[in-house]
Amino acid sequence: MKLFDALERFQNMDRRWIFLGMGLSILIPLLVTADCEFKVDERVQALYDTVEALPAGTTVFLSADFDPASRPELEPFFRANLDHLFRKDIKIISATLWEFAPPIVVPILHEIAAAHGKEYGVDYAFLGYKPGKELAIKAIGENIPKTFPVDYQGTPVEDLPVMQGFKQAKDFPLIVNVSAGFPGTREYVLQIQGQHNLTIISSCTAVSGPDYIPFYKAGQLAGLAAGMPGSAQYEKLVWADSEPPPGTRKLATQAINVLNMGHAFIIALILMGNIAYFLTKPRGGDDD
Amino acid sequence: MRSTIPLIITFFVGLFMVGEFFIPHWRYRIWTAELLEWGLILAAGAYMLGLANLIQVNLPKVMKKERDWGYKAVMLVSLVVTLFIGFHDGQHRHDDGAAYKWVFEFVFTPLNATMFALLAFYIASAAFRAFRARNVEATVLLVAACVVMLARVPMGEAIPVIGDYLPRFMNWIMDVPNIAARRAIFIGAALGAVATGLRVILGLERSHLGAD
């Protein structure tokens, strides 16, 4: 009887106990770090290989569409990708469709460019934010200088050496999209990928991953890194034989233990909840 | 006349923009690019409308001290302060030491990140209460969710014996049932969008004009 009551109480426990457990599952791995091995997903490998295949001196378009809420998931990929591109001497023209992205993107772009000795305007540029969502993506497909007449500092984009010869999306051998949601990868694929036959790679939040897998399988995305595990796998590939530049840490690799514990906690809760449910069910447990 | 002219404009502009996919000539695309730019200007203009609407809706409630007027007052004050420092800092708003950057880093970023981070706690609570193997469908959903959760993290790969198979099973779930369902949803939604687009172009759907 006591066990039955305990199981009943467990099923209806105050959710603050769950919040406490979840909080500890996040906090403990942050304080006690441990290395863990993981394999690289086929989609992340394809993403890495696509960047690796680019010859030095080419220019890519990087749409950094994220905000502070999605920053922990996407900043690690953004940093690793910038490092990957710059060390291969690839030039970057970046822009964003998210109004909260510029204050995050600009300092990281300058920091990693400086670590590689890159010069603003010559090796990279940030064109700023453009409202309009799908309309802005469509306009990037048609005419970038008209869509972004000036960069984020107010310099006419046609005066930037890095912009010479790049007028529309199809002029770039690769488009990188760091996507936290709408507008993002889905809209790039729907609006301009098919029409201009663009090569796009994407880093997205874990929750968007299942949405974008069909695009990868259909060849509309050349690679996909979803969520923190995707970023950690990309970090593993980018810094397989070297260390990150000074000031940059393998953020996603460090955070993977938090995911480990968090997922373990949720799975344990589900299992214990179901055990309690089946043990109490014959005696009038919740069976609706 | 108030609705006829917008309907005629919608009809011609809609047809013209669709035509871009069937007439891939550069002269045609100069015009579609021009229309796109008009669209971008209108989208930017919508922010001004949003601003006016926000003030129009909330200011009277604050003045009359209606329910929750305090929250609305905080929102309006934040709006005015952020707007003011944004204009004041101008092109230098992203520089170190700029007031706009301070507000972004120390007010907006923690609030925005906190809201998103809270999801982890609510998902844990919801998963505990909702994931019960009550019937076959719920059991399939529960098993798939647990496999994906376990295989997405290194812990799943480290489990003896099944560790090697878990990522393969997860990939099968993501690549086969997931894609089948997503494609069905995408195609359904796309057909719905085409139908809605046609109804708007032909003037059968008039809700965007403020009519039912």
Nearest chain B CA: its distance from A13 CA (Å): 10
- Tell me the residue type at A259: L
Q: Domain locations in chain B?
A: 1-57, 67-130, 131-212
Hey, what are A67's tokens? 């905000």
Positive or negative: CA dihedral A81, A82, A84, A90: positive
pLDDT value at position A182?
94
* Residue A28 sits in the same domain as residue A167: no
Find the farthest-apart pair of alpha carbons in chain B and give their distance in angstroms, rounded: 74
- What residues of B are in contact with residue A169 (Cβ under 8 Å)? none
Residue to substitute from B13, B125, B146, B157, interface A, most A β-carbons within 10 A: B125
- Tell me the residue type at B27: R
- Strands A223-226, A59-65: pairing kind: unpaired
User: In whole angstroms, how far apart are CA B157 and each of A33, A250, B153, B175, B204?
Assistant: 19, 20, 7, 19, 55
* Residue A165 sits in the same domain as residue A201: yes
pLDDT value at position B113?
92
pLDDT in tens, B85-114: 999 998 888 888 899 999 999 999 999 999
* Residue A116 sits in the same domain as residue A202: yes
* Residue A91 sits in the same domain as residue A17: no
In a domain? residue A176: yes
Q: How many domains does chain A have?
A: 2
pLDDT in tens, A243-260: 887 777 788 998 898 999
pLDDT value at position A164?
94
For chain A, report the end-to-end CA distance as a whole number of angstroms. Answer: 23
Q: Test B108 with A211 for CB contact under 8 angstroms.
A: no
pLDDT in tens, A109-145: 999 999 999 999 999 999 999 999 999 999 999 899 9
pLDDT value at position A283?
55
pLDDT in tens, B139-174: 999 999 999 999 988 888 888 888 889 989 999 999
Q: Test A267 with B150 for CB contact under 8 angstroms.
A: yes
Pick from B123, B134, B175: which is nearest to A213 by CB?
B175
CATH number at residue A113: 3.40.50.10160
In a domain? residue A288: no
Positive or negative: CA dihedral A48, A52, A56, A60: negative
* Residue A192 sits in the same domain as residue A122: yes
Domain of residue A128, residue span: 42-249
Hey, what are B12's tokens? 């011609």
- What residues of A are in contact with residue B178 (Cβ under 8 Å)? 210, 213
* Residue A24 sits in the same domain as residue A123: no
Q: Is the pLDDT of residue A93 over 60?
A: yes
- Tell me the residue type at B179: I
* Residue A121 sits in the same domain as residue A141: yes
Q: Is the pLDDT of residue A275 over 70?
A: yes
- Work out the pLDDT band at B211, boundaries 50, 70, 90: low
Cα–Cα distance for residue pair B149/B136, rounded to 1 Å: 20
Q: Chain A contact for B39, CB < 8 A?
A: yes
* Residue A173 sits in the same domain as residue A220: yes
* Residue A207 sits in the same domain as residue A235: yes
Nearest chain A CA: its distance from B65 CA (Å): 32
* Residue A145 sits in the same domain as residue A266: no
* Residue A94 sits in the same domain as residue A205: yes
Using the structure block, give the residue that is written with the tokens 């309006």.
B76
Burial class (CB in 10 A: 0-12, 13-18, 19+), B73: middle
- What residues of A are in contact with residue B109 (Cβ under 8 Å)? 68, 71
pLDDT in tens, A148-171: 999 998 999 999 999 999 999 999
Q: CA-based angle A184:A185:A186, to the nearest 5? A: 95
In a domain? residue A172: yes
Cα–Cα distance for residue pair B28/B33, rounded to 1 Å: 9
From the centroid of its chain, how far is CA B150? Answer: 28
Pick from B33, B94, B131: which is nearest to A142 by CB?
B33
- Strands A200-204, A175-179: pairing kind: parallel
* Residue A26 sits in the same domain as residue A48: no
- Work out the pLDDT band at A285, boundaries 50, 70, 90: very low
